[in-house]
Structure 1
């Protein structure tokens, strides 16, 4: 999940500039995504996620770290892009619910990137005909379920921790 966990903090660090929604509003009169989702953050976050994924591929290959998944370019790109797409989809629905930028939405805020990254990766593996990647990297259903449970436990902790750090560094207006 490293290529999925890195893009959101990287986007916050590298973001700014033109919003992805170009400042447009939806039919309800609210912004489509808001000023917090920028092209610079989106592209920068994806690139940083890919770089961390490439480093992970290198480390797994060089040091024979068999306990880590053997990522491919498809998996690292889709994890990185899916994390930010999941965050943008969540932001779209937050705006529809009348929630302002930075407003708490606990469950959605913690798992948007997990859902987005895993859904996009699964779709990418289906489209490329490499759905067997799951079987190659998770040798049993029990190991796959244990991995999902670990992701469900670690994601909120990492989300909260990175947000607190971003807040302390002045990159975020709120620590959640």
Structure 2
């Protein structure tokens, strides 16, 4: 049970960005409307500057709040002092980048915006968060993301992804409930 709580706790800065990107997004697409060499949009209208920035900032803010309350609950922190910002940026921006990379490949498969791609949609942001954080703060990452924690994350993330997408759909922040 404790490992489950730690896994969820460590992933919160990566879990919240896409939700906040959906809420605060819109505006200019990251691909600026450009079409890739295959004739499809590079990313599509769903990946915007405002959403990417808002999602990343909200993920970092979530981690900063977590760092303040972690000692009261005996939970891990995302570094101390200045080192916490790169770690939180790795988790938050990495989650956004993982989702962006998946959108690029979905466009290559000629999938429309919002079309489900089983398993990829549920873990793309996890892989992005992990990879960027590994690059930025490898010691912190491997100390906290043990094999057990990683397995738990890979099990709980699809369930949480489904639940949050249904909620996002019901409140009007998402076009599809998946």
**Could you tell me how far apart the structure 2 residues matched to 1:114 and 1:38 are?**
20
Which deviates further from its counterpart, 69-78 or 27-36?
69-78
For 2:174, the equivalent position in structure 1 comes to: 172
Q: Report the Cα distance in structure 1 between the residues aligned to 2:104 and 2:77, rounded to whole angstroms.
A: 32
Matched, 1:116 2:116: no
In the TM superposition, residue 73 of structure 1 has moved relative to its aligned partner by 1.6
Matches within 5 A, 1:35-54: 35-54=45-64
Runs of 4+ with deviation above 6 angstroms:
none
CA deviations 1:34-70 (Å, max 9, x no partner) are 0000111000000000000100111124x2x333344
State how far apart, in whole Å, the 2-side matches of 1:135 and 1:117 are. 13
Q: 2-side partners of 1:43 and 1:77: how far apart?
A: 11
Asked whether 1:10 is paired with 2:20, we answer yes
Superposition RMSD in Å = 1.3
Gaps spanning 5+ residues in structure 2: where?
A: 1-10
Question: What TM-score do you get using the length of structure 2 for normalisation?
Answer: 0.88
Q: TM-score, normalised by structure 1?
A: 0.88
Are residues 88 and 134 of structure 1, via their aligned partners in 2, closer, same or farther at CA, if it must alter by over 3 Å? closer
Q: Distance in 2 between matches of 1:152 and 1:43?
A: 25
Count the aligned residue pairs.
164
Instruction: Please say if 1:132 is aligned against 2:134.
Output: no
* Match among 64, 76, 79 for residue 68 of structure 1: 76
